Structure 1
């Protein structure tokens, strides 16, 4: 088994879960910080994936991990929508003031 690659997927999943927890409490600074950690982990995963591959069982586990990450991401986006809409309104108001 190639546990190194799975470790990266699991670390990304944990960061994703942590991001969701932060989003649920409205701690968007923490969400952004954790998103940066995810970017780094994904970069490291890509480099490691160039050197090795997952077996059939590992691929099934990877698929389950990725599904959980996608569910977390969807919920984070849903929680962020009101915040993003507020930001859009603020930015629209500023642009009207400038013109």
Structure 2
């Protein structure tokens, strides 16, 4: 994997997480799920030891992309966690039957 490959991977993940935020904001849970699967697939290329260390401008760009990805993740969680808690509160009987 080259430095360009690394940056392309993180750019793709950042774009997917931007789309995930938009899906969460509009309560598009099916779309969010699809995007989450795409994001997981894209991130699977980043297995430990497979991504080379970057230097200079490429390193700074990677850091910016990681910050964007983390901010998107935080926003998605802010939107979805209350909904998940509400869902869990209406489904306690179902869990007892499993």
- Shorter-chain TM-score category? 0.7 to 0.9
TM-score (norm 2): 0.85
Q: Which residue of 2 is the match for residue 41 of structure 1?
A: 42
Q: Which residue of 1 is the match for residue 58 of structure 2?
A: 58
Query: Partner of 1:57: helix, strand, or coil?
Result: helix
**Counterparts of 1:72 and 1:55, CA distance in 2:** 25
Unaligned runs of 5+ in 2: none
* Structure 1 vs Structure 2 CA RMSD: 2.1
CA contact (8 A) 2:20 2:35 kept: yes
Cα gap change, 1:59 to 1:89, in 2 (>3 Å): same
**Counterparts of 2:51 and 2:38, CA distance in 1:** 22
TM-score (norm 1): 0.84
**Count, aligned residues:** 96
Deviations 1:12-47 (A, max 9, x none): 000000000000000011111111111111112338
**Counterparts of 1:10 and 1:51, CA distance in 2:** 14
Shift of 1:85: 1.3
Moved over 4 A (4+): none
Q: Which has the larger radius of gyration?
A: 1
